[in-house]
């Protein structure tokens, strides 16, 4: 009997810090253009964006969601490429400490996991 090769290089590996992926405890998917994992109290997101200028990449945080958007226009070929993807996280993120760097066509974003969880509060009911 011949064993079949994994469809992806990381399929079948025991990577306990993986957040997204076929073997993820969350059961979410992973894409070919990014990798997202949890390590040392933070999420690390790497996105392959070769050919994009750093200034053409928009990174925003809004309402618990990180959005990566980019646009590249190739004047010589008359082509335009766009990239847009949003990410939600299973744990609260300290959004004031999010950091990003773009090097050699790879965007790396670190998102520290919030150490303090939101506490409850009493809501007054009028009437």
Q: What is the pLDDT of residues 30-57, one digit of tens each?
A: 457 899 999 999 999 999 999 899 999 9
CATH number for 47: 2.60.40.790
Residue 117's pLDDT band (cuts 50, 70, 90): low
8 lies in a domain?
no
Tell whether 26 is covered by a domain. Answer: no
Q: Which of 14, 9, 87, 13 is nearest to 44 (CA)?
A: 87
Residue 106 CA to residue 102 CA, distance in Å, equals 6
Residue 15 in domain: no
The span from the CA of 102 to the CA of 111, in Å, is: 15
Q: Is the pLDDT of residue 73 over 80?
A: yes
- Strand, helix or coil at 60? strand
pTM to 2 decimal places: 0.66
pLDDT score recorded for residue 76: 87
Which stretches within 22-106 are classed as H helix? none
Is there a domain that residue 103 lies in? yes
- Please say if the pLDDT value at position 22 is more than 50: no
The yes-or-no verdict on residue 24 having pLDDT over 90 is no
Number of domains within the chain: 1
Q: Does 76 reside within a domain?
A: yes
Say what the pLDDT of residue 23 is.
41
CA distance 67 to 48: 14
Which domain does 88 fall in, by range?
34-112
- In this prediction, residue 119 carries a pLDDT of 59
21 located within any domain: no
Average pLDDT rounded to a whole number, residues 55-79? 91
């Amino acid at each position: 009997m011949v064993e079949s090769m994994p469809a992806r290089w990381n399929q079948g590996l025991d990577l306990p810090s993986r957040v997204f992926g076929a073997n993820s405890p969350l059961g979410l998917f992973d894409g070919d253009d990014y990798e997202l994992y949890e390590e040392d109290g933070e999420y690390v997101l790497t996105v392959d964006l070769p050919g994009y200028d750093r200034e053409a990449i928009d990174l925003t945080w809004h309402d618990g969601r990180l959005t990566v958007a980019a646009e590249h226009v190739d004047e010589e070929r008359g082509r335009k490429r766009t990239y847009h993807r949003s990410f939600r996280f299973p744990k609260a993120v300290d959004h004031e400490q999010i950091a990003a760097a773009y090097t050699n066509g790879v965007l790396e974003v670190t998102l520290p996991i919030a150490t303090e969880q939101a506490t409850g509060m009493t809501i007054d009911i009028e009437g």
